[in-house]
């Protein structure tokens, strides 16, 4: 009986992975799939993810050393949520950032069997590590975790350590080649000191002092193989006094820390200065970090959008226009602000600053920006399914969102808003233009909050729970009374807007006071919402019951007095568990045997057309080419027929 399949260390790309993914469907006997060391990107990863979702026996997947980015990681994370029996997942040495890591973390959180996770040599950073750490809580069965070479600092290390406290089976843990200092090392040591099964811990090539290394080694189980060599001195500020001798300066970058007894006075002074800088840095952690977002020339974006061709225009408004394009091999949306808009300049700066601070799976990702003279552009990941409002209106004849998708959208929005309100302690961010037009859907109908151009944040040490402004901005139907009448903004301001979004998801109707009144009247007269529910979808009895709960929550969010509205944390508590239970049905609108084919076909058609004519206003593609592209695996079906046939035959034997 066929139980494993290996095609590692070849030249398989996205088309090959697509063919393999299609062949995996319903293969109950296939348990192990090895595709590491190939050239599989996001499109191929999406295909494998769909195969993973529909292959009941597959329990181990190796896809490290490929070219998988955040889109592929999101697809795999989504499949992991539905794939309760996957025990081994290796995605190291890819191109996954904190966004993709967050999606994998969501899958990990839902999994009941994953005991081996490899994410080394990506770029998940502290934010990605925090997401994974949160998902690890109560995962007692995890035995192997690899997070080395990921630019993780103390914040991420502490989050991982907290997540590992519940583990009783941890055997191997690697976080070498990161940016971990003493605080992170101490947290890891405290979390692992009682792990009887721990046999290997690797923390080499970090920034841990010799004394912290020694303390950590003393607290580990006796049989644990511990490596913490080649630690680096952390120099974070160019203003450190240059009085050190030339010899010392020339050797600092690579020299290991000496034992405390022989440490030179210069090293002691340097470390003391670094400690001061770290302490000072904590009080300035909210400074803008726009330098983390690449700045490109306007010419690059002009070429990416065929000179901002009208044929590439996919939207627009008072701020300017939005164009589709390809940048750095990825399909993107380019927002070009109107050159004569003074308000646009302020919104450009506000959005750039906000999106540079906050990275989350449910917040739209900014890829790069351009700023030359009066020209300003922001570049985002392209959201394939447009806005929630477009889908509720069934724009361009699109099918209606089913109830499971709407529930997931509600949770995604609440997750994003809870994050921006709590990510920086004591300084919540206020969106102030939260609406269904500003919630976008990716290819898998994951929701992401967008348009942070009107955001405000609570100043540090303000000492009160609101700020006051004389400038009222946003969309009238979503603005709460306190903001509209008094200019008061608090964490409950966006909750009001969220309540209106919930009513739209339930009814499909346009927002406004009349909508709230109709829902309130239905609940008062009938105790249920059946008469107001969106008639474009089929509602089962359990769905109607839960819809009533959501309607009651929406009305609580729309209370006139902000004190009476719930927080996003309370909102998530109310809807989270029920949404999780329904997530497996989120793709019910498309039959399982067509979901992946349609998704991958569309991605390949758009990708190929962009690549063939990157600078032209329109790409001419023959009917024959379109036919071939609409079946992406047909071009290599003959080449891969021995592979796919072997899966077909062996799984039936």
Q: Which residues make up each annotated binding site for ATP? A: 335
H or E stretch covering 635? none
CA–CA distance, 296 with 452 (Å, rounded to integer)? 21
Q: What are phi and psi of 235, to 5 degrees?
A: -115, 110
Distance from the Cα of residue 337 to its chain's centroid: 26
Go through 80-100 and write b for each residue having 16 or more CB atoms within 10 A of its CB, e for each that does not.
bbbbeebbbbbbbbbbbbbbb
CA–CA distance, 20 with 180 (Å, rounded to integer)? 39
- Per the listing, tokens 């306007």 go with 298
Six token digits for residue 279: 């302490």
Six token digits for residue 545: 């019951």
Cα dihedral sign, 630-631-633-637: negative
Six token digits for residue 144: 């192997």
Identify any residues that bridge with 321 across adjacent strands, giving them in sequence order: 316, 336
Coil, helix or strand at residue 97: strand
CA–CA distance, 323 with 379 (Å, rounded to integer)? 9
Q: Are 26 and 58 in contact (CB under 8 A)?
A: no
Identify any residues that bridge with 378 across adjacent strands, giving them in sequence order: 335, 369
Six token digits for residue 22: 């299609």
Pairing of strands 375-381, 330-337: antiparallel
Transcribe 115-178 into DSSP letters.
Answer: -EEE--SSB-HHHHHHHHHHHHTT-TT--EEE--SS---HHHHHHHHHHHTT-S---EEE--SS
Task: Give binding residues as ranges.
Answer: 335
CA–CA distance, 577 with 555 (Å, rounded to integer)? 20
Give the CB-side neighbour count of residue 467, counting CA atoms within 13 A. 19
Coil, helix or strand at residue 474: coil
First to last CA, the chain: 6
User: Of 430, 462, 259, 265, which Cα lies nearest the Cα of 354?
Assistant: 430
The CB density around residue 486, as the number of other CB atoms within 10 Å, is: 12
Coil, helix or strand at residue 325: strand
CA–CA distance, 510 with 260 (Å, rounded to integer)? 68
Residue 178 CB contacts under 8 Å (≥ 6 apart), including other chains: 147, 148, 149, 150, 151, 152, 153, 156, 157, 205, 206
Cα→Cα distances 569→80, 248, 256, 415, 529, Å:
25, 51, 45, 8, 25
């Amino acid at each position: 009986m066929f139980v494993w399949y290996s095609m590692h260390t070849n030249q398989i790309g996205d088309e090959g992975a697509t063919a393999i993914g299609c062949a995996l469907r319903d293969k109950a006997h296939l348990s192990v799939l090895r595709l590491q060391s190939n050239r599989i990107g996001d499109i191929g990863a999406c295909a494998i993810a769909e195969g993973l979702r529909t292959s009941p026996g597959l329990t181990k997947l190796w896809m490290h050393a490929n070219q998988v980015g955040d889109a592929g990681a999101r697809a795999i994370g989504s499949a992991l949520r539905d794939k309760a029996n996957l025990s081994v997942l290796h995605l190291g040495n890819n191109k996954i950032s904190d966004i993709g890591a967050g999606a994998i973390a969501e899958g990990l959180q839902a999994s009941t069997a994953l005991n081996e996770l490899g994410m080394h040599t990506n770029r998940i950073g502290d934010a990605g590590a925090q997401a994974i750490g949160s998902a690890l809580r109560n995962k007692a069965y995890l035995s192997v975790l690899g997070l080395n070479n990921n630019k993780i600092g103390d914040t991420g290390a502490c989050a991982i350590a907290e997540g590992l406290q519940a583990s009783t089976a941890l055997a191997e843990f690697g976080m070498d080649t990161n940016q971990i200092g003493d605080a992170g090392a101490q947290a890891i040591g405290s979390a692992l000191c009682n792990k009887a099964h721990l046999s290997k811990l690797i923390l080499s090539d970090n920034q841990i002092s010799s004394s912290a290394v020694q303390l950590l080694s003393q607290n580990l189980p006796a049989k644990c193989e511990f490596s913490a060599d080649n630690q680096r001195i952390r120099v974070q500020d160019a203003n450190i006094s240059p009085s050190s001798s030339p010899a010392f300066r020339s050797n600092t970058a690579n020299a290991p820390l000496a034992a405390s007894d022989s440490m030179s006075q210069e090293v002691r002074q340097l470390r003391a200065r670094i400690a001061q800088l770290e302490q000072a840095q904590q009080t300035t952690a909210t400074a803008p970090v726009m330098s983390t977002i690449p700045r490109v020339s306007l010419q690059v974006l002009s070429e990416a959008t065929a000179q901002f061709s009208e044929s590439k225009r996919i939207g627009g408004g008072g701020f300017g226009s939005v164009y589709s394009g390809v940048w750095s091999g990825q399909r993107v949306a380019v927002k070009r602000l109107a050159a004569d808009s003074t308000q646009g300049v302020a919104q450009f700066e506000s959005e750039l600053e906000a999106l540079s601070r906050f990275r989350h799976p449910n917040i739209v990702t900014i890829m790069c920006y351009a700023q030359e003279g009066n020209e300003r552009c922001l570049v985002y990941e392209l959201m394939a399914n447009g806005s929630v409002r477009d889908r509720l209106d069934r724009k361009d004849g699109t099918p209606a969102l089913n109830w499971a998708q709407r529930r997931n959208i509600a949770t995604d929005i609440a997750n994003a808003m809870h994050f921006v309100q709590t990510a920086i302690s004591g300084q919540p961010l206020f969106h102030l233009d939260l609406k269904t037009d500003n919630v976008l859907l990716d290819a898998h109908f994951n929701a992401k909050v967008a348009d942070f151009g009107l955001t405000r944040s609570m100043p540090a040490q303000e000492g009160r729970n609101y700020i006051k402004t004389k400038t009222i901005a946003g969309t009238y139907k979503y603005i709460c009374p306190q903001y509209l009448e008094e200019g008061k903004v608090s964490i409950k301001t966006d909750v009001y807007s969220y309540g209106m979004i919930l009513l739209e998801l339930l009814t499909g109707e346009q927002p406004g006071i009349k909508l709230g009144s109709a829902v309130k009247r239905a609940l008062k007269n009938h105790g249920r919402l059946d008469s107001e529910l969106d008639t474009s979808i089929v509602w089962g009895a359990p769905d109607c019951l839960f819809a009533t709960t959501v309607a009651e929550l929406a009305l609580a969010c729309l209370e006139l007095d902000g004190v009476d509205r719930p927080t996003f944390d309370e909102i998530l508590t109310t809807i989270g568990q029920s949404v999780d239970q329904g997530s497996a049905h989120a793709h019910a609108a498309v039959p399982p045997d067509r979901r992946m084919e349609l998704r991958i076909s569309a991605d390949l058609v758009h990708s190929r057309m962009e690549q063939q004519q990157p600078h032209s206003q329109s790409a001419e593609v023959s009917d024959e080419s379109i036919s071939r592209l609409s079946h992406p695996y047909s071009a290599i079906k003959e080449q891969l027929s021995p592979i796919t046939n072997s899966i077909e035959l062996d799984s039936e034997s």
